[in-house]
Structure 1
C-alpha cells in the first residue's frame, strides 16, 4: 500500500500485471465507459496491455482500494511544458505540476463519498510525499458529478478547453481544474 486516507478506508497500491483482468472488466462496462474512455472504446486484453502496461511515458499507475477491495484505477504524471501550454497553463521555473486521471470501476461503489476521500488522499500524498506544487485534471464539462467531487476536494476551474477530448465520436469541451498549494494559489493561466 502506497498511501491511505485519514480513516484508512481508501488506499492506493501499485498497478501489477495481474490487475489486467480488473482493468479489462472495468473498461468493458458501459456504465464506466460512459465517463472514462467512451462506450465506443471497450478494452479487451490487448488494449489493456497497450494502454496500461506498454506505456513508455512517466505515468505512475495505481489501483484504488476501498476497505481492501480493488475498486478502481488512478494515475498521475508530471505535466510537460508543451502540454501545459496547449491548455493555457504556465509553469513557473522550478514548479512541479502533475496531472491526474482516475475512475471507480466498481459501479456499486459510486456515490458513496469514496471519490472525495480519494482526492484528499492524493492531494496530501502528491504535495507532501512527491513535492508537487499544483495538480491538474481535465474533466469533460458535462460530467457535473466528477466536477462537484473535484471542487469539494479543493480543485477549481481555471480554463475552458474547447474540443479538448475525443469521446464517443465527437470532441468534447473540458474544464482545466487545478489544485494549488497556498504559496502558488494565484492561477498562472494565460
Structure 2
C-alpha cells in the first residue's frame, strides 16, 4: 500500500516479529501514549503476550507505517473490533517517531488504512475515539472525511484531569 499522493510518502505493511521491540518502546513512551490512552508502563512479559496474540485475532487488521523513502518504521495503525455482520471497525493510529509527526505521515496512513477497510475488508463504517484535546489528530480525521458523531463527557482520566472523548465515524458511501 503506497501513499504517494500525500505530503508524506508512506506505506502500510504487515507487522513482523522484528517490530516487537519498536512497538514495546512506543507503548512505554509516556509522551506518545497520553495522546490517546492513560499511561502505565508495560512489562516485557505483558508486551510479548500481547504481541503473540495480536496476529491470532480475526477481528484486527494491524500494520506498521513505513516511510517510503527510508524504509523506516515510523508508526503503527490498525482496524480493531472488525465486525463481519455490521461490517464495521474502529481505527487506531500512532506515529511513534516524533521526527515524522506533523509532516503528513498520519494523514497519509489514515487514508491508506481507510482505503484498506472499505475496499479490501468491504467495511460499511469505520469509527474512532479521540480525546478532545488532541487537536492534531482531530484535524487528520476530519481531513480524511470523518464526522463527529458524539461526545463522551469527561470519559477519560489522563495525567490528573478529566478529558472529553469525541466519537468520529466515516461511512463507505462518504468516501470516494
Relative to structure 1, is the Cα distance of residues 50 and 166 closer, same or farther in structure 2, using a 3 angstrom cutoff?
A: farther
Shift of 1:23: 0.8
1:47-74 Cα offsets, whole Å, 9 max, x none, are 3223333356422221111122101111
The reply on whether 1:31 has 2:28 as its aligned counterpart is: no
**Which residue of the partner structure matches residue 16 of structure 1?**
16
Does the CA-based 8 Å contact 1:134-1:178 persist in structure 2?
Answer: yes
Indicate the residue corresponding to 1:64 in structure 2: 65
Q: What's the CA shift string for 1:4-62, capped at 9, x where partnerless?
A: 22449211111222211001221222321221433x41333223223333356422221
Match 1:4 to one of 2, 5, 20: 2
1:47 aligns with 2:38: no
CA distance in 2, matches of 1:170, 1:47: 27
Q: Aligned-pair distance for 1:113?
A: 0.9
Identify the residue that residue 83 of structure 1 maps to in structure 2.
none
Distance 1:171 1:14 in 2: 35
1:19 alignment partner, SS class: helix
- Unmatched 5+ residue regions in structure 2? none
Match of 1:108 in 2: 99
Distance 2:67 2:138 in 1: 21
Per-residue deviation, 1:145: 1.0
Distance 1:44-1:108 versus aligned 2 partners, 3 A rule: farther
The verdict on how the C-alpha distance between 1:72 and 1:183 changes in structure 2, with shifts beyond 3 A counting, is closer
What SS does structure 1 have at the residue aligned with 2:142? Answer: helix
Pairing 1:78-89 to 2, within 5 Å after superposition? 78-79=81-82
- TM-score, scaled relative to structure 2: 0.83
- For residues 142-178 of structure 1, what are the alpha-carbon distances to aligned partners after superposition, in whole Å with 9 as ceiling and x for unaligned? 1111111100110010011234445446653211100
Instruction: Please give the TM-score of this superposition, normalised by the length of structure 1.
Output: 0.77
State the alpha-carbon separation in 1 of the partners of residues 66 and 4 from structure 2: 14
CA RMSD after TM alignment = 2.5
For residues 157 and 53 of structure 2, the distance between their equivalents in structure 1, rounded to whole angstroms, comes to 22
User: Are 2:142 and 1:151 aligned?
Assistant: yes
Q: Which runs of 5+ in 1 are unaligned?
A: 81-92, 185-190
| Cα separation, 1, equivalents of 2:48 and 2:113 | 25
Larger CA deviation: 25-34 vs 154-163? 25-34
Cα distance in 2 for residues equivalent to 1:70 and 1:183 = 30
